[in-house]
Amino acid sequence: MKPENRRSEVAHSLPERESALAELSTDPSSRKRFLKMMGGGGAAALAMVVAACGDEKDKGTSSQPASGGAEKSGGGKGDLEIVNYALTLEYLEAAFYKDVAGSGLFKGADLETIKQFGDQEQQHVEALEATVKKLGGKPAAKPKTEFPLEDAKKVLQTAADVENLGAAAYLGQADKIESKEVLAAALSIHTVEARHAAALNTLLGKPNTPDGAFAKPASMDEVLSKVKPFIVG
């Protein structure tokens, strides 16, 4: 057998790497272990993501690398790139709430809620930084940010936009994640982003679930283009 034919035969014999979500959808034993790892809310979160992601693979959504030069693994973008992308968004959210808390536009219970949201976003930052390092990578560079803080209502609208976008961003990557541990972390953060978004939507007099029964995912391109105005330089 010629060497090139042998290489082709070996390549075709290698199994394709499957996303964690695809494995969980088809393997009951794997799904059971995952739900035990996720805890009480795992079943609902997994069901929501499976329903919302649906046939996203067939749509061929495009993507681009996040800042930080994350490496790729396997045949897809790789979990490291996805985690660094999420980290970039969490840097932005944590910076936003810190700036809002110091703006003087909010007081009392409203200010406490803003600080609580900001603290949770900072916890997301720290968790994702640790995940990047565990994956053997370098955390994405923290972007310099600037937000419009002249008017309280506009600030709340910006907060709602950012949180809704954050929830959609995690959903947009769920079916591409290969590690079940990374998927579990992403789902646990996604649910908090969605709760933040629902609270802010309600406060603004808008539907707390603007997409209806099933949330809509967003690609990296869509998300990064929408947050670009907040990043300086």
Cα separation of 201 and 228, whole Å? 22
Assess if residue 81 is contained within a domain.
yes
Q: What is the pLDDT of residue 25?
A: 54
Q: What is the pLDDT of residue 11?
A: 35
Q: How many domains, the chain? A: 1
Assess if residue 1 is contained within a domain.
no
Assess if residue 5 is contained within a domain.
no
Question: Percent of the chain at pLDDT above 90?
Answer: 61
What residues have CB less than 8 Å from 233, skipping those under 6 apart? 144
| Environment class of 111 (CB within 10 Å of its CB; exposed 0-12, middle 13-18, buried 19+) | middle
- Residue 101 near residue 114 (C-beta atoms within 8 A): yes
Assess if residue 3 is contained within a domain.
no
- Residue 103 near residue 149 (C-beta atoms within 8 A): yes
| Environment class of 53 (CB within 10 Å of its CB; exposed 0-12, middle 13-18, buried 19+) | buried
Its domain, for residue 183, covers: 17-232
Cα separation of 150 and 103, whole Å? 9
Assess if residue 9 is contained within a domain.
no
- Model confidence pLDDT, tens digit, residues 124-172: 999 999 999 999 999 999 999 999 999 999 999 999 999 999 999 999 9
Output the domain CATH number for residue 183: 1.20.1260.10
Predicted model pTM: 0.73
Q: How confident is the model at residue 81 (pLDDT cuts 50, 70, 90)?
A: very high
